[in-house]
Amino acid sequence: MSEKLQAIRGMNDILPTQIAHWQRLEATAQRLLNGYGFGEIRLPLIEKTELFARSIGAATDIVEKEMYTFDDRNGDSLSLRPEGTASVVRAGIQQGLLHNTICKFWYSGPMFRHERPQKGRYRQFHQIGAECFGLAGPAIDAELILFTAQLWQELGLQGLELQINSLGDRQSRINFKAALVEYLQDYRDQLDADSLRRLETNPLRILDSKNAQTQSLLIKAPSLLDYIDTESRDHFETLKSLLDQQQLLYRVNDRLVRGLDYYNRTVFEWITTELGAQGTVCAGGRYDGLVEQLGGRATPAVGFAMGEERLVELLLQVGEAPKPTHLTFIGFDDQALPTLLKLAQQCRHQLLDHRIEIDYQGGNMGKKLNRANKTGVDIVVIIGGDELAEQTATVKFLREKRPQTTISQSQLVEFLET
Ligand code: HAM
């Protein structure tokens, strides 16, 4: 017997029974993003591997060991996108969208990373992201953060912590990196294999090591904020005061460095303690050098992306997603079908937020009513022999305490609207 086919580890089916929170998250984010002036952009799932190596960074975990990379039939190295920012920048340059103008894009969809799957960490996951090009000042950083705060509020999510940091400019990071490496060299014998490797390839990433011993070594390590350049410091101070004035709480975390190389100045993450180890639900920052690095003209940029699986998990903890009123039409036999279809169509045109179905399955009226009850139907519209003859419809409320009522078919929509 052949082996049962299974989905790939870390890649999930999302079933209709689970979809309500996804749709609410996406619809709310979409409405808000459009309202803040972001335009949706849809991009390929596959890009040249080089795009990600040159943007996210060749020495990052993502590019070093997490990408789904393959040669296509022409021998080009391609990768499934591990994130969206690189593609947005590529498209912006390629389509000539970024010159001397302000561009705001949002996107959503699946991303792919070959990480070790666990709760909140998958190999195919979904992001909703936003990127803004052409604004160098800290006000837009603040606005993006305020956007995310508004989204949490509209979704009823509480208890998320905002952490912010500044990475300074390139030179300040080089200076800080040198100071950090010098400090850690004295403790080489206490570092785990991963940190020892990063000491050579990407020392800043040691700052977010999960190893307790490494973390205790870092307490006395130099702080990034002591190394940042004056302009970046001013940028960061203004950002903080803008957030203060909007009464948005945050914590400055000088260890927050992010796992992608393209950032400078502002970086931020929204973190929850409700999801265990994978608590970052949204992350982003400034990447003023990336457009030029990928061949465009120097263009300041800032953005973020949120993890939909993690947000949906939080929404599930908050409670059930609201369900639309569920209406089912039942008829005594096939003779009622034309009337059922006619009435159902009338209702579908008018009662747009209802779920409206016709019971096509067999059985007598009792059986059909039972089925409606069991499947969570709220209202049943019955067309029996009498109703068919008299052009009426009987409405039965299965959840509400309202009397069963027989009305003329022409008044059905109006009756159901009240
Ligand atoms: P990131 O921190 O790599 O940043 O990912 C953003 C968010 O995607 C994370 O905070 C998390 O919620 C979610 N996420 C990442 N990996 C996984 C995974 N394996 N399973 C489930 N969720 C995951 C970026 O991707 C940047 N492009 C964000 C950005 C946009 N920065 C500027 N613009």
| pLDDT tens, position by position, 129-160 | 999 999 999 999 999 999 999 999 999 999 99
A 10 A CB-CB count for 255 gives 16
d(Cα 144, Cα 50) in Å, to the nearest integer? 29
Beta carbon of 129 within 6 Å of any ligand 1 atom: yes
C-beta of residue 406 within 8 angstroms of C-beta of residue 394: yes
61, 310, 314: residue to mutate for ligand 1 pocket, most atoms within 8 A of CB:
310
Q: Whose CA is nearest to atom 13 of ligand 1?
A: 307
Distance 58 CA to ligand 1 centre (A): 17
Question: Does the CB atom of residue 296 touch ligand 1 within 6 A?
Answer: no
Q: Which two tokens stand for residue 180?
A: 């950090």
The SS3 assignment for 267 reads strand
- What mean pLDDT comes out for the span 378-392? 97
Ligand 1 centre to CA of 152 (Å) is: 17
Q: Measured from the CB, is residue 283 less than 6 Å from ligand 1?
A: yes
Average pLDDT over residues 226-251: 97
Residues 86-103: what's their mean pLDDT?
Answer: 96
Give alpha helix (H) positions in 109-220. 138-155, 170-185, 193-201, 212-218
Q: 212 or 71: whose pLDDT is higher?
A: 71
Amino acid at 297: R
* Residue 3: band (very low, low, confident or very high) from pLDDT cuts 50, 70, 90: confident
187: tokens are 């403790």
Tell me the percentage of the chain whose pLDDT exceeds 90: 83
Beta bridge partners of 80: 46
pTM above 0.75, yes or no: yes
Probe residue for ligand 1, chosen from 51, 127, 160, 265 as the CB with the greatest number of ligand atoms within 8 Å: 127
The CA radius of gyration of the chain, in Å to the nearest whole number, is 28
pLDDT tens for 191-218 read 898 899 889 888 988 988 888 889 888 9
User: Which one-letter DSSP state was computed for residue 71?
Assistant: E
Model confidence at 367: pLDDT above 90: yes
> What is residue 321's predicted lDDT score, i.e. its pLDDT?
82
Q: Report helix angle 308-318 to 19-35, nearest 10.
A: 110
Average pLDDT over residues 343-365: 95
Residue 83 Cβ < 6 Å to ligand 1: yes
Average pLDDT over residues 210-236: 92
DSSP 63: I
Mean of pLDDT over the chain: 95
Mutation test residue for ligand 1: of 11, 125, 290, the one with most atoms within 8 Å of CB: 125
Using 50, 70 and 90 to split pLDDT, how confident is the model at 231?
Answer: very high
Which amino acid is present at 293?
A: Q
Tracing tokens 């009337």 back to the chain, one arrives at 339
Instruction: Compute, in angstroms, the gap from residue 282 CA to the centroid of ligand 1.
Output: 7
57 lines ligand 1 (CB under 6 A): no
Confidence class of residue 277 from pLDDT cuts 50, 70 and 90?
Answer: confident
DSSP H or E segment with residue 360: none
235 near 265, Cβ under 8 Å? yes
Residue with CA nearest ligand 1 atom 15: 307
Atom index in ligand 1 nearest the CA of residue 86 equals 27
Ligand 1 pocket, 105 CB below 6 A? no
- Mean pLDDT, residues 9-28 taken together: 95
**Please, what are the domains in the chain?**
19-169+228-318 (3.30.930.10), 325-417 (3.40.50.800)
Q: Is the shortest distance between the CB of 166 and ligand 1 below 6 Å?
A: no
Contact 242, 139 (CB under 8 A): yes
C-alpha to C-alpha distances, 352 to 135, 258, 327, 379, 410, nearest whole angstrom:
41, 44, 12, 15, 18
- Taking residues 298-315, report their average pLDDT: 97
HSE-CB of 391 using CA atoms within 13 angstroms:
5
CA 113 – ligand 1 centroid, Å: 10
Nearest to 163 by CA among 247, 264, 258, 26: 258
